[in-house]
Amino acid sequence: MTDATPTFRQRLRERQPLVGTFFKTPSHQLVEVLAGAGLDFIVIDAEHAPFDRAALDPCLLAARAAGLPALVRVAGVDGPEIQGALDLGATGIVAPHARNAATVRRIGAAVRYRGGVRGFSNSPRAGGYGATGMAEHIACSDRDSVAVCQIEDREAVEAIEAIAGMDEADCLFIGRADLAVSYGVDDVGDPAVKEAVRTVCAAARSRGKAVGIHIGHMREAQAYLDMGVSLFVVGSDQSLLRAAAAGLRFPASA
């Protein structure tokens, strides 16, 4: 990558509009297909889909080979999960349930070497299997690795002013479904969820922080763009496949 080419982290922090999808099927071929479709990124879902480290490995290899930024949504904020994804060559991580400033600080520390707690090794893919020197690997990883923090709890919304001001998070990702559960409702369109979304967007906008959200269709994007959202995760590989397959019907006869 040349100095003139912005990294995914730079594009994210500059709040450029970015469109990707959740990736839930352990198949490196599907990663290549999505890369050819021109997406800005994918989020490999190791929280809700069957991705252990062995399943992540070929998918991250395919993404790296195709030049497709790949974030990994980890199942928790423990250091080993985050470190494992980054060592395999993930562009960054999406961490669930960033409920408060302390959790965001913990996530940020797990992503970084300097000032953090990430265990060092340049022997995995991220370090060129040992070809990248220690100083270069630390500098490049700390500069380019992305930390996205999911705001999906009422507690996080109540602490959003503090969370939005933290540099450890490159982006705040709104999880409307979990917010609905946290607020005791069963509809992401509930007024309580809508108000929580507005609160998060307003706090992020005031701090110049990138905001992301999951939507079902691109037709929903404009309303969130107007609120300051710049990162869009649209459906998933499975929903895209299902929608395309559902359209394979003969037209109804007149």
| Domains annotated on the chain, with CATH | 8-237 (3.20.20.60)
Amino acid letter for position 121? S
Residue 141's pLDDT is 98
The answer to whether 73 and 65 have CB atoms below 8 angstroms apart is no
Residues of the chain with pLDDT under 70: 1-3, 253-254
Q: Where are the beta strands (DSSP E) in the chain?
A: 18-23, 41-45, 70-73, 92-95, 146-151, 171-174, 210-215, 231-236
Type of residue at 179 = L
Its pTM stands at 0.95
pLDDT at residue 79, rounded to an integer = 84
Beta bridge pairs of residue 95:
149
Task: Tell me the pLDDT tens digit for each residue of 168-190.
Answer: 999 999 999 999 999 999 999 99
**88, 108 in Cβ contact below 8 A?**
no
pLDDT of residue 75: 96
- As given in the structure block, the two tokens for residue 143 are 């500069």
What is the structure's pLDDT at 2? 47
Instruction: Outline where 41-120 has alpha helix (H).
Output: 53-66, 79-87, 101-111
What the block records as the tokens of 241 is: 């496949």
Residue 8's pLDDT is 98
3-class state of residue 95 by DSSP = strand
In this prediction, residue 3 carries a pLDDT of 58
Contact 217, 227 (CB under 8 A): no
Q: Note whether 171 and 211 are within 8 A (CB).
A: yes
Q: What is the pLDDT of residue 249?
A: 87
Cβ-Cβ contacts under 8 Å for 80 (sequence gap 6 or more): none
Terminal-residue alpha carbon distance, the chain: 56
The set of residues, in sequence order, having a beta carbon less than 8 Å from that of 104 and lying 6+ positions away, is: 98, 149, 163, 166, 168, 169
